[in-house]
Amino acid sequence: MEKIPYDEILDIQRKVDIVDVISEYLHLEQKGKNYFAICPFHDDHNPSMSISKEKQIYTCFVCGASGNVFNFVMNYEHISFAEAVLKVAQKAGIGLSVKNISKTIVKESKYDKFYKMFEIANKYYQNNIKTVYGKAASDYLNKRGITPAEIKEFEIGLSLNDNNVNKLLKSKGFDESDIVDIGLCGKKDNFIYDTFRNRIMFPLHDSTGNVIGFSGRIYNGEDDSKYVNSKESVIFKKGKLLYNYKRAINYAKEEKQIIVVEGFMDVIRLSTIGIKNVVATMGTAITKDHADLLRRLSKNIILCFDGDKAGQKATLAAIEVLEKIDITPKIIRLEEDLDPDDYVIKKGKEAFLNHLKNPMSLLQFKIDIEKKKTDFNDYNDISNYVNNIAGELEKINDKVVYELTVKKISKETGLDVETINSLISNIPKKERKIITKPKSIKKNKYEKAEEYLIYYMLKKEDVILLYQNKVSYLTNKKLAMIAIKILEFYEQKHYINVTDFSLFLQDEDELIKEVLRIDGLNMPDEVDDKVIEEYIKTIDEGILKREIEKTKNKISMEQDTIKKVILLEKLATLKKKECK
């Protein structure tokens, strides 16, 4: 994303009050200096979110959600940071800045002409299906249970064998080369022809609602390819596109859940039975970009890919990407290798709703896969089965779930519960708490020193300078990033305070959260230089200690005697340093 100039953001932020803005979304109660609300970012029953008028910051002490006024609007409305800035500016009636920001949002205005071309083509196709030429196509759709309501909602259209898109776009002054580049037309021996002919047209929209491509399906006669898709272009990237994203935003918010399917026909089919919080990956593997978009819709994600082997593989791949951003999806597997579209046609609405009400946990899904591979009459198979799922069992942190799962496996395999337990190194001891507070893992003194240093860097210029001169790096990656950003901010602005610094971080939600968490630590405001020096010393010790551990590990792994000697020498030098 292109960054909006910091000064503009600051200017807007100074002109609005976070309390006014949030009160448009939530009911606020004043208690002392602060305001409180039911947190919209977790399943909250008591007001857990506090809004500080003084700092212009919101923080939820249960789920850890926090940020400035723009972060709130961005996260609440599931829009980009730039869009949130624009929205807040409009609320505040700030005209001049809005113009500049709109430019940033609409950015790359050089792509405007491409969006226009797709829009014109989309309107043309949509009109075709309503004419007499479209009768066969709309009959075909109706026969497949796609009613005029879906045709309208999903802007389904029809391409004819008339080469009219090419003519239409040229008559509106678009360049032939652009029309070909963007994939609406092809060119052969100086002859320009429409890419899509005699196909039912499904427009593909980007996350802000612009049409950026089409998928065209045959409906009469035979063709080698059932579907033809627009080629990738400067505006159409499959790895960034989720079909139906824009329409699904509000439904996902209502249902507090988003369902992910593979194909756009699955989305349309589920819409016919009233399920509208659905997006499709268009048959590509889920990317990091997809995952980020999904997280904006809801953290409660259900993967409902095709029921076949390929669908299972795609599900596993998607799980891996989602787990990297701390999302544990639930899974629906459909019987008889069916995709959701065919499933609803063949088995009906109730059967699908039943799946939706009882999605599988990730654990269940993974155990199921292993189970299918196992012959429970074969001892070797059983041994493999238990060893393969041991890793999954280790991840369970709910004692009840753990015990029930192990009992079930014991029954299946005929193994003692103790034998299975002996394979697991991390058996949960406590029942999971219903409210999961932000994890307060015990931190060692080195980690604490890094946090405290950041705490004072956020408040005192001389600590920033001390950091710059005396600290080489921090071992905690997030804190290291924050330190770099503080230096950047200070170099440009020559001052520091937490609120303005959070504006500087723009849409880097995770960093902002961490900054505000550290800012909320209970520490004395005034601090002696000696204390800071002590933190820095501890941090250096930590780094040295880690280096020593690493070297020791290397030594134990090293086979080559000469290399081992070199490592031992290094270890000796490090240890000497440690003693100083």
Name the token pair of 77: 């409305």
Residue type, position 492, single letter:
Q
Q: Which residues bind Zn ion (CB under 5 A)?
A: 39, 41-42, 60, 62-63, 65
CB of 376 to Zn ion, least distance (A): 45
- Alpha-carbon span 192 to 172, nearest angstrom: 16
Complex with Zn ion: residue 42 or 197, whichever CB lies closer: 42
Give the containing element (helix H, strand E) for 154.
none
The beta-carbon contacts of 270-277 under 8 Å, at least 24 apart in sequence, are 270/340, 270/344, 270/352, 271/150, 271/153, 271/154, 272/145, 272/146, 272/147, 272/150, 272/344, 273/344, 273/349, 273/352, 273/353, 275/352, 275/356, 276/247, 276/248, 276/251, 277/248, 277/251, 277/252
Q: Is 301 left (phi over 0), alpha (psi -120 to 50) or beta?
A: beta
- Alpha-carbon span 501 to 488, nearest angstrom: 10
Three-class SS state of 464: helix
CB of 319 to Zn ion, least distance (A): 25
Complex with Zn ion: residue 60 or 457, whichever CB lies closer: 60
Place of tokens 């997006």: 279
CB of 168 to Zn ion, least distance (A): 51
Complex with Zn ion: residue 199 or 296, whichever CB lies closer: 296
Complex with Zn ion: residue 28 or 278, whichever CB lies closer: 28
CB of 414 to Zn ion, least distance (A): 46
CB of 54 to Zn ion, least distance (A): 21
Complex with Zn ion: residue 22 or 39, whichever CB lies closer: 39
Complex with Zn ion: residue 63 or 141, whichever CB lies closer: 63
Q: Angle of helix 362-372 relative to helix 399-413, nearest 10 degrees? A: 10
Complex with Zn ion: residue 62 or 316, whichever CB lies closer: 62
Complex with Zn ion: residue 199 or 299, whichever CB lies closer: 299
CB of 65 to Zn ion, least distance (A): 5
- Alpha-carbon span 141 to 143, nearest angstrom: 5
**What residues are paired with 494 via a beta bridge?**
none
CB of 436 to Zn ion, least distance (A): 11
CB of 46 to Zn ion, least distance (A): 11
Which residue in 334, 326, 308, 329 sits closest to 318, CA to CA? Answer: 329
Complex with Zn ion: residue 63 or 332, whichever CB lies closer: 63
Say how many Å lie between the first and final Cα of the chain, rounded.
48
- Alpha-carbon span 75 to 53, nearest angstrom: 19
Residue type, position 209, single letter:
G
CB of 47 to Zn ion, least distance (A): 10
CB of 44 to Zn ion, least distance (A): 6
Which residue in 91, 86, 106 sits closest to 9, CA to CA? Answer: 86
Q: State phi, psi for 94 to the nearest 5 degrees.
A: -95, 110
CB of 61 to Zn ion, least distance (A): 8
- Alpha-carbon span 410 to 580, nearest angstrom: 56
Complex with Zn ion: residue 36 or 385, whichever CB lies closer: 36
Complex with Zn ion: residue 58 or 343, whichever CB lies closer: 58
What's the DSSP call for residue 210? -
